[in-house]
Amino acid sequence: MQATKVNVYAGNHGWLFEDIKQHFKTLHCPGFEVSVSDRPLAAADAWVALRTKEAAASPDIQRTVVCVHDLLSDDGMYQQGGSRHAVRDAAALVLSHPDQRRILIEQGISLREVPILERPLGALNIFTPRQRKSDRFSVGWVGRGWVGL
**Is residue 8, in this structure, part of any structural domain at all?**
yes
Number of domains in the chain: 1
How many other CB atoms sit within 10 Å of the CB of residue 123?
13
**Is residue 135, in this structure, part of any structural domain at all?**
no
**Is residue 90, in this structure, part of any structural domain at all?**
yes
The overall pTM is greater than 0.85: no
Can you tell me whether residue 104 is helix, strand or coil? Answer: helix
**Is residue 146, in this structure, part of any structural domain at all?**
no
What's the residue count for the chain?
149
**Is residue 131, in this structure, part of any structural domain at all?**
no
> Considering just the CA atoms, what is the radius of gyration of the chain in Å?
16
Amino acid at 71: L
Would you write out the chain's pLDDT as a tens digit for each of its 149 residues?
Answer: 799 999 999 999 887 889 889 889 888 889 999 999 999 999 999 999 999 999 999 999 999 999 999 999 887 899 999 999 999 999 999 999 999 999 999 999 999 999 999 988 876 666 666 666 666 655 565 555 555 54
- Whole-number Cα distances in Å, 91 to 23, 46, 65, 106, 116: 22, 9, 6, 20, 9
CATH (domain of 111): 3.40.50
> Which residues constitute the domain of residue 24?
4-118
Residues contacting 94, CB < 8 A, separation 6+: 65, 66, 67, 68, 116, 117, 119, 120, 121
How many other CB atoms sit within 10 Å of the CB of residue 38?
14
**Is residue 40, in this structure, part of any structural domain at all?**
yes
**Is residue 68, in this structure, part of any structural domain at all?**
yes
- What single DSSP character describes residue 130? P
**Is residue 142, in this structure, part of any structural domain at all?**
no
